[in-house]
Structure 1
Amino acid sequence: MKTYKVRIWGIRKRNSKTNPFQVRWIVNGEQFAEPYATRTLADARRSELVTATKNGEPFDVATGLPVSELREATSPTWYEHACAYARMKWPGAAGKHRASVAESLAAVTAHLVATRRGAPNRDVLRRALRVYAFQFRTDPETGDPVSRAVAEEIPTEIGSALEWLASNSLKVADVAESDVLRGALRDLSKKLDGTPAADNTVRRKHSVLSNAFKYAIERDLLASNPLKRLDWKPPTTSDEVDFQYVPGPAQVAELLGAVAESGTRGGHLHAFFACMYYAAMRPSEVCNLKHPACKLPDVGWGELVLSKSRPEVGTGWTDDGKPYEERGLKRRARNATRPVPIPPALVRLLRTHIDAYGTAPDGRLFRGIRGGRVPSTEYSEIWKDARSLALTAEDLATPYADVPYSLRHAGVSLWIKAGVDPVEVARRAGHSPAVLWKFYAKILRGHQDASNRMIDAALTSEEES
């Protein structure tokens, strides 16, 4: 319990040869005292207590200390706090977010130590943190997350690395010092090989670190977020799509044709890639597309009713140990659906695909070689082969349509250029209008110019009449 009922007395002289001077104060009616060898030391201590009261600090009733001193005295190590933060974030978090938290914490925790003497190999330490300290399993008795470092038998070198870190990790209160933080931010901004990390990676890791400090405030380990005191900001990034590398309709047709010609797997994944273009679906949404969700008439437009996605993650980051999760649609309520009208071209492709390959037992249209979710390694390899068949050597040397996700960008771009209302474009693509503007600002500005010209024409016509 904390209180502001504090009274500080003057220094008392005692009959003692070793510590004749005594500082006394009362907290919520309870008296506390500390002996000192000299009056100077006693004066300094009394000044600290007086300053705490003048700064409006509450005092802890049990120990009689100002809260700032109590935080320092009882502060856990950063390693202990990082484990507590990762455990708090684990339940209910998406697998990719769990992995991101672990990766970010491992980058800074390995740096926040009092000494490097006897430090384990850097790669071993990072792996020990990411895969064992910050990865959890569910306790079958309590249902609570327990780190792999505790729940499993771990390799000797991993155990030694974590023991060294537990012994040398800085206290949370000491991590807040400027020089320490700047060193952590330098490590956070680099890859393991020492080269600069991508701007988006730096921003993501900085966000996790900031959130870990907020959790320290919540636990009353810190009074404020120390990152806000530093003259350091994560790099500014531009999320806007670089349209010079987004394929147009003619080039998409060539790429999809090349996919179909890439052997048996290319034939199976032809409609997979077509969904990313004609319906602007994310790969994780296509992976979970099931036959009952497809309305495929004999003629005319059809519709896909999307409700789930299967993002790919490592087996260690899911609750059931699978390499993927079945989750709701991105940025939507868990049970929300998103109907997407599809043109006749995609309707025909999907009908042909179902006739040729059938569906998985659970109704999924697309399967991996072994029957499970189509892994990203598989469809990325098919896309790589298709690029080599469809593109010129000059384009192959650039990021032009370098990843399958380029098809989604191409599909959304086509809708905007065709004059579809941006709000409807955002709805079909599963974006908010704000996010659509963030990624497709250049095209939308052109669309806006066309709208302005139509308004000008209407105003001119009105004036002339």
Structure 2
Amino acid sequence: MKSLDVKVWGVRKRNTKRSSYDVRWTVAGNVFSEQFRTKGLADHHRSKLLRASHAGEEFDTVTGLPDSLVERAPSMTWYAFALKYLAMKWPHAAPNTRNGINEALTAVTVALLDERPGRPADELLRKSLRNWAFVLPSPDDRELPPDVADALHWVAKASRPLSDLADAAIGRAVLDSLKVKLDGTAAAAETVRRKRRTLVNALHYAVDLGEFKENPITAVRWKKPKVANEVDPRVVANPEQARALLTAVSYVGGYGRARGRRLVGLFACMYYGALRPAEVVGLTEADLKLPGNGWGTALLNRTRPSVGKQWTDSGETHDDRGLKNRPVEEVRPVPIPPQLVVMLREHLETFGAAKDGRLFTNERGGVVGSSTYYRVWQEARMLALPPAAVASPLAARPYDLRHSALSTWLNAGVDPTEVAARAGNSVEVLLSRYAKCIDGRQEIVNRKIEELLSEYE
């Protein structure tokens, strides 16, 4: 039966072991209630009941709900939903974000497949999902290799219903599957958290589509892996080590080919200016102010992160974007010390700039790939460091030069606000990441406390 006799009560908090909030209402004298984990969710549901009542909708005396609030059973498989979610996210996502979404959707799709006959080999299955299914244009809009087409046809049939994720046990099993890599070893904590973040975001979209009342994954009791956000002090090179490494770079490849010499300035920008690798690769001659002596300035406004061709709209290996976590046209001025000014002037005199003004190029004049400068850096470490240091984490990656720069500045007593501005970070992020790299903090604090206490003796 249907009835217009509806009364909605206020939200009530239940003081149980896990606090919850009740929404209670009556339909023709029959009492109904629903529990929610947060007051916000409870208030949202109560508002929907009130809107339906005020709009004159009739409520069912058995379910207690108007037709507009009866939850529809999800009408699609996980795979069909994942394709829909990808089509929504892709146009507005950065290339590296697209790659991360692809990786997460592939992992969840494999975890939500039925064991039915004809399953493709794992390698073909993942290749089909990674390289064809979760890359735009969609598989329906392009010709697929026969084996890939067969594999994706099987996936479409074997994919479990999206509604299965409402089962907490299935949700937990999917989350657990994200902890394991293809070879069966444990995945990095940051990788697991990134994949979970994509899954949560995808199911928020499912809620928006009306497939769920609330996100089922957020209700799953599951221990998130801990991510170490602090920089390892062992990677930080001191000024003497940094200079030795930069000198060694110039010897990589021999004098004739100049493979290392053309990249000395690139690594120097990471150390003396604390620039990110993608910022250095995107640096142009027009971005620089290089006086004859004294400090110069780099006006950072573009980055050229290294990604795959399938993730960029241009089809190029390197994306062309604005600064990290900044509006597209924002410029970040970074003062650069005299040592770096001299090195960049020498670089321009020796190698010039590319046709588009880029400061650093590979030997063919193209954009410097991360694999290229990484190989040069590894050879330089072998030349500059003793065997024990080569085997250690010391400056193991080019990015560690940036860590070394910021740690050096902080240890020199530079105001963290100024360091953060030059680095393009917030002060909170800067201090939390480099807390373990700042020497003498405990001694300074102890001295200040001792001085304070001595005043009252």
Question: TM-score surpassing 0.5?
Answer: yes
Q: Cα distance, 1:179 vs. partner?
A: 2.8
Corresponding position of 1:106: 106
Q: Is the 8 A contact 1:309 1:328 kept in 2?
A: yes
Q: Does 1:316 align with 2:310?
A: yes
| 1:216-365 alignment runs, 5 A limit | 216-263=206-253, 264-365=258-359
Q: Quick one: distance in 2 between partners of 1:114 and 1:463? A: 74
Q: Quick one: distance in 2 between partners of 1:213 and 1:50? A: 31
Q: Quick one: distance in 1 between partners of 2:439 and 2:67? A: 58
Q: Quick one: distance in 1 between partners of 2:313 and 2:376? A: 30
Q: Is the 8 A contact 1:282 1:408 kept in 2?
A: yes
Query: Measured at CA, do residues 386 and 51 of structure 1 come closer, stay the same or move farther in structure 2, by a change above 3 Å?
Result: farther
Q: Unpaired segments of 5 or more residues in structure 2? A: 7-26, 29-52
Q: Cα distance, 1:372 vs. partner?
A: 1.5
Amino acid at match of 2:264: H
Q: Is the 8 A contact 2:237 2:394 kept in 1?
A: yes
Q: Does 1:377 align with 2:361?
A: no
Q: Cα distance, 1:107 vs. partner?
A: 0.5
Corresponding position of 2:70: 67
1:260-305: CA deviation from partner (whole Å, max 9, x where unpaired): 1113111000011000000000110000111111111111111111
Q: Is the 8 A contact 1:280 1:408 kept in 2?
A: yes
1:206-248: CA deviation from partner (whole Å, max 9, x where unpaired): 1111111111111110112222332212201111000122111
Q: Cα distance, 1:444 vs. partner?
A: 5.2
Corresponding position of 1:124: 124
SS in structure 2 at match of 1:153: coil
Q: Does 1:183 align with 2:173?
A: yes
**Aligned partner of 1:167 among 157, 169, 178:** 157
Amino acid at match of 2:70: V
Amino acid at match of 1:337: V
Q: Quick one: distance in 2 between partners of 1:58 and 1:336? A: 50
Q: Quick one: distance in 1 between partners of 2:70 and 2:432? A: 44
SS in structure 2 at match of 1:340: strand
1:38-62: CA deviation from partner (whole Å, max 9, x where unpaired): xxxxxxxxxxx75521xxx4324xx
Q: Quick one: distance in 2 between partners of 1:435 and 1:103? A: 27
Amino acid at match of 1:357: F
SS in structure 2 at match of 1:348: helix
Q: Quick one: distance in 2 between partners of 1:267 and 1:30? A: 76
Amino acid at match of 1:302: G
Amino acid at match of 2:63: A
Query: Measured at CA, do residues 462 and 291 of structure 1 come closer, stay the same or move farther in structure 2, by a change above 3 Å?
Result: farther
Q: Is the 8 A contact 1:277 1:408 kept in 2?
A: yes
Amino acid at match of 1:52: T
Q: Quick one: distance in 2 between partners of 1:353 and 1:4? A: 80
SS in structure 2 at match of 1:328: coil
Q: Is the 8 A contact 2:113 2:155 kept in 1?
A: yes
SS in structure 2 at match of 1:240: coil
Q: Unpaired segments of 5 or more residues in structure 1? A: 9-26, 32-48, 61-65, 138-146
Q: Cα distance, 1:186 vs. partner?
A: 2.5
1:133-170: CA deviation from partner (whole Å, max 9, x where unpaired): 11113xxxxxxxxx1x1222111111111111111211
| 1:42-121 alignment runs, 5 A limit | 52-53=63-64, 57-60=65-68, 67-68=70-71, 71-72=72-73, 74-121=74-121
Q: Cα distance, 1:132 vs. partner?
A: 1.2
1:310-333: CA deviation from partner (whole Å, max 9, x where unpaired): 111100001110111111111111
Corresponding position of 2:199: 209
User: Which of structure 1's runs of 4+ aligned residues deviate more than 3 A?
Assistant: 3-8, 27-31, 443-457, 459-464
Q: Does 1:403 align with 2:401?
A: no
Query: Measured at CA, do residues 232 and 445 of structure 1 come closer, stay the same or move farther in structure 2, by a change above 3 Å?
Result: farther
Q: Quick one: distance in 2 between partners of 1:447 and 1:248? A: 18
Amino acid at match of 2:66: P
TM-score, normalising length from structure 1? 0.81
Q: Cα distance, 1:101 vs. partner?
A: 0.2
